């Protein structure tokens, strides 16, 4: 009977998913041919994109006409429903979605979103498969992904940069990159068209590296071209996998959807026309098709590829979400949203449900793994909420970054930056405050040194520089300023920042200094940011973690009990005396 054929196919699926780590065949055609069955090829030639229940019903009607009577007889038997129930059970176990309306979809308008996935979320074939089904599940939950922004797979960008260095040394080899991408293509048994596109890009990448080897030149422009291959390969594989599982998708390079930039290679910025260009391009894309877009890269007016610098993929996502006036921007990472502090320091750090754009910007600037401050700007401009989610734990609610009228908590989060240099500059001349300050800041500008936090008086300035600043630039600055001031530079310092309600700064500072006093933690510098969202302390690096642990206990755990180091020593001494007492 015909129903036995279909049932056996799903049994085949169940067996295949066991040996292929959950991947399911995209088409029943090859299975039926292998069984020696007669099929109507014209009727099912597009079965790769046909949803499972659709081709299930289709097969019941389009098998060999000679079996029509068997089909009718099978449909009349009372066992058919039971067989279908078994098939549905197999489909459920295989994570296959029916065509029926989801019970989770709201009756109202779908929530339009752009979803961004970083390299760790797309590290290999297994992760791409998980992300693809995650996207499909979001459709089931009532979301409408207008765009999926993808980074390169895993550490591909770093591998490409390393390949560039080797090419300068006379050796070209991208075998590892080929293996990574070909493994994903083979794992999913993607179409020859996708395979050819990815192989063409990798061949082009190898040709470029041979050019680098021969010319012994790798300029910022060439580097931008080189690293672009990672994202361009990634989106083609992700789009193909989405189509395989029934989600209509199309891969786009970022410039094809309007991401145009300046010609500052390595750190380009979006053109003012980008918002209107992106909106115009997405108006031409069918809203039922998911646009899978390269993150991190763009194109300058002369048609040369650029990169957007740190946080570039996040910026691509927020630019699209803002331009298209979407309901939400989703950034999928490998953490459960924004946490109250670094979980490597405080194991019981807790997720933060909501933060303001300004708070998130301060968190990112002072070291938290959130969106880069530049990536926040388009979302803030259009007031589009950003939700930070965990692709490894999709059920976690994550953190929503949005416009808030006032902070929800006394302290929202604790963050830090390590490896800081503290620079104290004291004037030795009777310069007016404006003359002294202008002289100092002009010197910082000339030497391209960026300041983190600063505190000043009429004749002195204390400021911090992070470890990314060039030592030779600092040496030049010291040489220039020694004509006017005494300068002291101390290393191994850290910035501890409280993202807090500064309107209640007295309460925040009272608690913080109680902890510092009890733990004998020396505050080298204090600065309250002009944003009114942060209070920063400069501490000795070796005291940073102790400070964070006890501040977190006070502000988030309701246990503001601190012991003075002197008390601990006294207890140890008393214990020792008791042990030797007669």
Which residues on neighbouring strands pair with residue 116, listed in sequence order? 149, 331
Domain boundary among the residues 59, 93, 127 is at 93
Measure the CA–CA gap between 385 and 325, rounded to whole angstroms. Answer: 11
pLDDT for the residue 428: 83
Q: Are residues 431 and 539 in the same domain?
A: yes
CATH of the domain at 548: 3.30.2130.10
Residues 437 and 494 in one domain: yes
The residue with tokens 């055609």 is: 29
Whether residue 375 sits in one domain with residue 290: yes
CB 39 within 8 A of CB 84: no
The answer to whether residues 461 and 532 belong to one domain is yes
Does a structural domain hold residue 182?
yes
Q: In what order do the strands lie in the sheet with 454-456?
A: 454-456, 460-465, 411-427, 485-500, 534-540, 525-528
- Exposure on the CB side of residue 46, measured as CA atoms within 13 A: 8
Domain-embedded: residue 101? no
pLDDT at position 77 is 54
Residues 228 and 293 in one domain: yes
What pLDDT, on a 0 to 100 scale, did the predictor assign at position 48? Answer: 38
What CA–CA distance (Å, rounded) separates 386 from 324?
A: 14
pLDDT tens by residue, the chain, 582 residues: 444 444 444 444 444 444 444 444 333 333 333 333 333 434 333 443 433 444 334 433 444 444 545 545 555 555 556 655 654 554 444 333 333 333 333 446 899 999 999 999 999 999 999 999 999 999 999 999 999 999 999 999 999 999 999 999 999 999 999 999 999 999 999 999 999 999 999 999 999 999 999 999 999 999 999 999 999 999 999 999 999 999 999 999 999 999 999 999 999 999 999 999 999 999 999 999 999 999 999 999 999 999 998 789 999 999 999 999 999 999 998 888 899 999 999 999 999 999 999 899 888 877 676 778 889 999 999 999 999 999 989 989 899 999 998 888 899 999 999 999 999 999 887 555 567 888 888 999 999 898 888 988 878 899 999 888 888 999 999 999 888 889 999 999 999 999 998 888 899 999 999 999 999 999 999 998 667 788 999 999 999 999 999 999 999 998 886 555 554 444 444 444 445 554
Residue 245: CATH number of its domain: 3.40.1160.10
Assess whether 419 and 360 both reside in one domain.
Answer: no
Q: What pLDDT score was predicted for residue 335?
A: 83
221 and 354 co-located in one domain: yes
What pLDDT is recorded for position 371? 79
Q: Determine the distance from the C-alpha atom of residue 301 to the mean position of all C-alpha atoms in its chain, rounded to a whole number.
A: 28
Domain stop point among 360, 384, 405: 405
Residues 525 and 500 in one domain: yes
Q: Which of 581, 557, 558, 577 is nearest to 569 (CA)?
A: 577
Residue 104 lies in a domain: no
Which helix (H) or strand (E) segment is 231 a member of?
helix 220-244
Q: Are residues 380 and 500 in the same domain?
A: no
Domain identity same for 268 and 322? yes
Q: Which residue, among 241, 96, 232, 55, has the nearest Cα to 151 in the 3D structure?
A: 232
79 & 184 share domain: no
End-to-end CA distance of the chain: 95
Domain that holds residue 520: 412-567
Question: What's the token pair of residue 307?
Answer: 């990169």
Burial of 495 (0-12, 13-18, 19+ CB in 10 A): buried
Q: What is the pLDDT of residue 209?
A: 98
Tokens of 556: 């988030």
**SS3 readout for 374-409:** HHHHHHHHHCCCEEEEECCCCCCCCEEEECCCCCCC
- Please name the helix (run of DSSP H) or strand (run of DSSP E) that holds residue 423, with its range, or none: strand 411-427
Examine residue 106 and state whether it is found in any structural domain, yes or no.
no
End-of-domain residue from the set 352, 375, 405: 405
Q: Half-sphere exposure of residue 536, counting CA atoms within 13 Å on the CB side?
A: 29
Q: What local confidence, expressed as pLDDT, does residue 569 receive?
A: 44
**Would 578 be classed as within a structural domain?**
no
Residue 103 inside a domain? The answer is no
* 71 and 204 co-located in one domain: no
Sheet holding 399-402, edge to edge: 249-252, 290-294, 143-150, 111-117, 328-333, 386-390, 399-402, 354-356
The bridge status of strand 143-150 relative to strand 354-356 is: unpaired
* 241-275 burial: b if 16+ Cβ within 10 Å, else e: bbbbbbbebbbbbbbebbbbbeeebeebebbeebb
**Chain centre distance of CA 460:** 41
* Residue 17 placed within a domain: yes
Number of folded domains in the chain? Answer: 3
The answer to whether position 12 is within a domain reads: yes
């Amino acid at each position: 009977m015909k129903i036995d054929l279909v049932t056996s196919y799903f049994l085949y699926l169940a067996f295949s998913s066991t040996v292929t780590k959950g991947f399911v065949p995209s088409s029943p055609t090859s299975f039926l041919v292998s069984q020696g069955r007669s099929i109507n090829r014209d009727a099912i030639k597009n079965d790769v994109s046909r949803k499972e229940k659709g081709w299930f019903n289709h097969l019941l009607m389009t098998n060999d006409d000679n079996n029509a009577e068997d089909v009718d007889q099978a449909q009349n038997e009372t066992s058919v429903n039971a067989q279908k129930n078994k098939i549905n059970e197999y489909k459920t176990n295989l994570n296959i979605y029916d065509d029926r309306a989801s019970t989770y979809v709201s009756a109202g308008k779908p929530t339009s979103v752009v979803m961004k996935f970083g390299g760790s979320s797309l590290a290999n074939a297994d992760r791409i498969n998980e992300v693809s089904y995650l996207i499909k599940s979001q459709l089931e939950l009532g979301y409408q992904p207008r765009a999926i922004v993808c980074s390169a797979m895993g550490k591909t960008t770093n591998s490409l940069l390393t390949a560039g260095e080797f090419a300068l040394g006379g050796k070209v080899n991208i075998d590892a990159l080929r293996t990574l991408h070909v493994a994903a293509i083979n794992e999913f048994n993607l179409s020859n068209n996708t395979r050819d596109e990815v192989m063409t890009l990798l061949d082009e990448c190898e040709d470029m590296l041979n050019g680098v080897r021969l010319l012994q030149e790798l300029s910022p422009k060439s580097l931008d071209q080189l690293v672009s291959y990672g994202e361009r390969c990634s989106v083609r594989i992700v789009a193909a996998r989405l189509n395989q599982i029934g989600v209509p998708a199309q891969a786009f390079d970022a410039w094809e959807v309007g991401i145009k930039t300046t010609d500052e290679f390595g750190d380009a910025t979006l053109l003012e026309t980008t918002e209107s260009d992106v909106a115009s391009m997405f108006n031409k894309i069918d809203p039922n098709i998911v646009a899978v877009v390269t993150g991190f890269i763009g194109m300058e007016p002369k048609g040369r590829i650029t990169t957007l610098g740190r946080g570039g993929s996040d910026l691509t996502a927020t630019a699209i979400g803002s331009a298209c006036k979407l309901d939400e921007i989703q950034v999928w990472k490998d953490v459960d949203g924004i946490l109250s502090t670094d979980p490597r320091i405080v194991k019981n750090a807790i997720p933060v449900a909501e933060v303001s754009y300004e708070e998130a910007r301060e968190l990112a600037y002072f070291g938290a793994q959130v969106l880069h401050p530049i990536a926040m700007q388009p979302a803030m401009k259009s007031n589009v909420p950003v939700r930070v989610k965990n692709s490894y734990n999709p059920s976690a609610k994550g953190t929503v970054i949005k416009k808030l009228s006032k902070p929800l908590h006394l302290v929202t989060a604790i963050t830090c930056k390590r490896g800081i240099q503290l620079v104290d500059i004291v004037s030795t001349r009777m310069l007016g405050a404006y003359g002294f300050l202008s002289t100092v800041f002009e010197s910082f500008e000339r030497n391209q040194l960026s300041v983190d936090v600063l505190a000043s008086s009429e004749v002195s300035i204390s400021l911090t520089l992070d470890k990314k600043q060039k030592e030779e630039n600092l040496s030049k600055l010291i040489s220039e300023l020694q004509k006017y001031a005494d300068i002291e530079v101390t290393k191994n310092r850290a910035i501890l920042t409280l993202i807090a309600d500064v309107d209640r700064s007295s309460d925040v500072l009272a608690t913080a200094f109680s902890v510092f006093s009890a733990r004998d933690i020396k505050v080298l510098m204090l600065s309250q940011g002009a944003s009114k969202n942060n209070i920063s302390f400069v501490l000795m690096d070796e005291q940073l973690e102790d400070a964070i642990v006890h501040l977190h206990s006070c502000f988030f755990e309701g246990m503001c009990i601190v012991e003075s180091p002197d008390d601990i020593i006294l207890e140890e001494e008393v214990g020792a005396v008791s042990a030797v007492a007669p």
